[in-house]
Amino acid sequence: MATMNPNYCAGGTIYVSRVVKVGASAQGTAVVTHCGTTDQPVGVSYEGAYSQFVNSGDPQIAAVAGYGLHVYGLGETALVEIDAAGLAVTAGVRVKVVTSAGKIGPLVGAGQGGQWTLGIAMNSGNPGDLIKVFIDPMQVAIPQS
């Protein structure tokens, strides 16, 4: 279940099942925005759209600026969208944000030290799919020589 924390507020248009980061705060409320490729993720936006946004014609909006937002956080499992232009994800691999819109891809290859990962893929998926991810943000260690 998404963290029912009333202190998360959308800092812009947030789409469903996207990785988010904490931005600025406003009057004691943590503001979240889509997480970029070099940002530290805090969690994943709720997979359901709020009814007022569905009625406006865009069923992919979880919240707009100023609205409260449910966020899945550390230790929870959430549906997250794989980048449509990216690589397939295999269950068990760590995933990272690969677009500024908070979509994910696998952590692969050398030279990944210092990058933030969102967590571990719980099932496999192809580009454009939604997969379950166990949220465990961590920064990949930089190898020591």
In-domain check, residue 71: yes
Q: pLDDT at position 51, please?
A: 59
In-domain check, residue 49: yes
Name the pLDDT band for 83 (thresholds 50, 70, 90).
very high
* Structural domain span for residue 67: 8-139
96: pLDDT strictly greater than 80: yes
In-domain check, residue 145: no
In-domain check, residue 73: yes
Percent over 90 (pLDDT), the chain? 46
- pTM of structure: 0.85
Mean pLDDT of the chain: 84
In-domain check, residue 114: yes
Structural domains in the chain (count): 1
Q: pLDDT at position 127, please?
A: 94
Residues whose CB falls within 8 Å of the CB of residue 79, separated by 6 or more in sequence, listed in order: 17, 44, 47, 130, 131, 132, 133
In-domain check, residue 144: no
In-domain check, residue 13: yes
In-domain check, residue 105: yes
β-bridge pairing 94-97 and 116-121? antiparallel
